[in-house]
Amino acid sequence: MQLGRYRLDEQVGQGGMAVVWRGFDTQLRRVVAVKVLHPHLHAREDVRRRFDREAQAVARLHHPHILDVYDFSGLAAEPSYLVTEFIRGRTLRDFAEGTPFHPPELAAACLLPIAEALEHAHAAGVVHRDVKPENVMVREDGVVKLTDFGIAALLDPGEKFTMTGSILGSPAHLAPETIEGKPADPRSDLFSFGTILYWLSCGELPFQAPSPAALLRAILDGKLTDPRAVRPAVSDGQAKIISRCLERDPARRYQTATELRQELEALLAEAGLEQPLEMLARFVREPELEGPRVRARLVERCLARGEEELSRKRTSAALAAFGRVLALDPQNAQAKGRVDRIRRRTRLLKLGRRALIGATACAIAAAISLPAIRFAERVQAARVERERQDARARELTAASAAPPPNTPSTSNPAPTSTANRTSTVSPPRVPPSAPGAATAPAPRAVNPRREQRVAAAEAPKLLPVVLAQKVPARVIVDDADLGQDLMIQTQLAPGTHRVTIQHKCCADLNTQIDIRPDRQRYTLETGSPRPAQLRIVGGDPDAQVWYSDENTPLTPLGLVRDLRGTPARIAMTEPTHRFTITVGDKAIQRTLRAGSENEIDMAGEP
């Protein structure tokens, strides 16, 4: 297919506004990306102007982390198209759904170039207004680029770009002031940036709801779960950056992308990650190797910081450092030992302080009441002496009144009967020992320490193990609950272990893993995904609804009127999957989770 001087070779993506092709510039002999406006949208002047606006916005930007624009068809051309550099890679959405960012500092490293790109765009008077994972491309060599300035606002004096009654952007990443219809400014982009940083750091979005309307209400409410509560491995510094980006009031956020970029750089430098772009490139190429390497560096640095704080008697700071180690590496023996030692010492100090307070109180009381105590002692001594004298007098009186004792008879005593004879009770005879008992040696005393050493020597050696997952499912190994996270670090003995994997999106999966000394990382799968449910609200009731993806052709779900009351069930082959939901002539991108209930409100779709 030919479009002017551009040959369209392969469709590589589509959205609600345009289809993206991998093309070839026949004059300059280079591969390009050609973004072609949907035919049914070309008739709308407002859409064509948005397309023209994207070309103008990006044409004034030249930055290594912003997609370059090569050509634009113009408003009068049919079809309208935009030509940009071609990125060999994936969107951040696709990359992150298959690759967990663990430890979370990798998320900060990934988005640092995007902060630089926003800094450059804002300085040029351009607000992106649609910062989301789908608009960040991850190149095969690890370079990330900000794309799709299709609804960007140009901050030229005297120029306004508003669409009364409409909301532009993706609901999950919209800033509250945008939802309220207020003009977007650079701080709106920083809010959207914060939603992505939260998502990469925690594995879930900061605001979630079953429908777009409910989601917008949640963002306006501003109720946010602390990132550290969702994922304890998130550092205090990173949590503060995320929370400040997501402040409900723009005045409480970072006021410029420069501030945000500087905070991210300081965070990574403090963590000892001095070359974040090189680290990111290695992570994109080999995530299963670079992730553990970065985690090991962070653990080593936190251990050193904890020991330094201990030497300075800063117990709280030391506990925070060792706690971060255990969040990254729950089985770390050094951190466990230090935390236990600090807690024991803290308990002893508390007991010592209580004893000192008690002794001081007693001394004060004694000093105050010493005369009274001495008087009481004298009264008690007099009472005891009086009682002793009274008892002696009673004994003498009783002795004088008693009759004399009988004189024993000198005649031969009469023989007494056998019944009255006094008998001597012999001690019970000890039964003779069994034959050979006299020569048996006495049993030796058990030495507990020796028994422990023997048991430890006989116990199998535990191996460090990393259990990786695509979703944070709960993992139970040999009836021991290891919790739920994208990556779980533990220690297991060599051999076969029973594993149960539980997640609300899938059926429970009972399986086995074989732990070997030559392998450390094991990837766990979830059970069979439950179907996702989809309901359509608003729009033309007679419009046909389809779903599709890169492997599934358009598959009908029914009419809009059918999907208002009874949701359609979409079969899932994995816990999360991105679909194109087509309602009439509108193509809508949605990531569905297995077992979830979803709603598309056509009134909120552009």
Q: What are the tens digits of pLDDT across the range 169-184?
A: 578 999 999 999 888 8
**How remote is the C-alpha of 195 from its chain's centroid?**
14
Closest Cα to residue 176, out of 240, 122, 224?
224
Task: Name the more confident of 339 and 176.
Answer: 176
Contact predicate 498/512, CB 8 Å = yes
Query: Which of 116-120, 219-223, 255-259, 362-366 has the lowest average pLDDT?
Result: 362-366
Residue 424 has a pLDDT of: 35
Task: Using the structure block, give the residue that is written with the tokens 């949590």.
Answer: 239
Rg of the chain (C-alpha set): 40
Q: Which residue would you say has higher pLDDT here, 432 or 26?
A: 26
Q: What is the Cα–Cα distance from 106 to 294, expressed in whole angstroms?
A: 8
Percent pLDDT > 70 in the chain is 77
Query: Which residues are CB-contacts of 124 (< 8 A; sequence separation ≥ 6)?
Result: 60, 61
User: Which tens digits make up the pLDDT trace of 80-133?
Assistant: 898 999 999 999 999 999 899 999 999 999 999 999 999 999 998 889 988 999
User: pLDDT of 483-522, one tens digit each?
Assistant: 888 889 899 999 999 999 998 778 889 999 999 998 888 9
How much is the pLDDT for 154? 46
Domain spans of the chain? 2-85, 89-271, 277-366, 463-524, 532-601
Same topology, domains 2-85 and 89-271? Answer is no
Q: Give the pTM.
A: 0.59
Mean pLDDT taken over the chain: 80
Model confidence at 458, pLDDT cuts 50, 70, 90, reads low
Residue 431 phi, psi (nearest 5): -65, 145
User: What is the distance between the alpha carbons of residues 589 and 537, in angstroms, rounded to a whole number?
Assistant: 16
What Å distances lie between residue 388 and 379, 381, 398, CA to CA? Answer: 15, 11, 16
pLDDT at 397: 52
133-168: string of b/e by CB count within 10 Å (b at 16+)? bbbbbbeeebbbbbbbbbbbbbbeeeeebeeeeebb
Strands (E), 126-207: 126-127, 136-139, 144-146, 153-154
Poorest-confidence range of 59-73, 199-213, 246-260, 460-474?
A: 460-474
Q: What is the pLDDT of residue 376?
A: 47
Closest by Cα among 93, 100, 86, 90 to 131: 93
Res. 427: pLDDT tops 60: no
**The pLDDT of residue 431:** 46
Residue 387 backbone class (left: φ over 0; alpha: ψ -120 to 50; beta: rest): alpha
| Residue located via tokens 């299963």 | 288
Q: If we measure between CA atoms, which residue out of 49, 86, 88 comes closest to residue 69?
A: 86
Find out whether 555 and 546 touch, Cβ atoms under 8 Å: yes
For position 336, what pLDDT does the model report? 87
- Per-residue CA distances from 154 to 149, 183, 202 (Å): 10, 11, 33
Multiple choice CATH, 2-85, 3.30.200.20, 1.10.8.50, 3.40.50.800, 3.90.1150.10: 3.30.200.20
Note the pLDDT of residue 449. 57
pLDDT per position as a tens digit, 283-297 = 999 999 999 999 999
More confident residue, 277 or 438: 277
Question: Is residue 62 a contact partner of residue 124, using CB atoms and an 8 Å limit?
Answer: no
Q: Is residue 37 scored above 90 in pLDDT? A: no
Residue pair 105/294 in contact (Cβ under 8 Å)? The answer is yes
- What pLDDT was estimated at residue 188? 95
pLDDT at 387 over 90: no
Look at residue 320 and tell me whether its pLDDT is greater than 70. Answer: yes
Residue 135 is classified by DSSP as G
Residue type, 373: I
- Catalogue the E-assigned strands of 97-176: 126-127, 136-139, 144-146, 153-154
Residue 317: per-residue pLDDT: 82
Assign a CATH topology to domain 463-524: Immunoglobulin-like (2.60.40)
CA distances from 385 to 78, 127, 295, 378, 381 (A): 123, 100, 80, 11, 6
Q: What is the CATH number of domain 89-271?
A: 1.10.510.10
Tokens representing 480 are 């021991």
User: Residue 199: its pLDDT value, please?
Assistant: 97
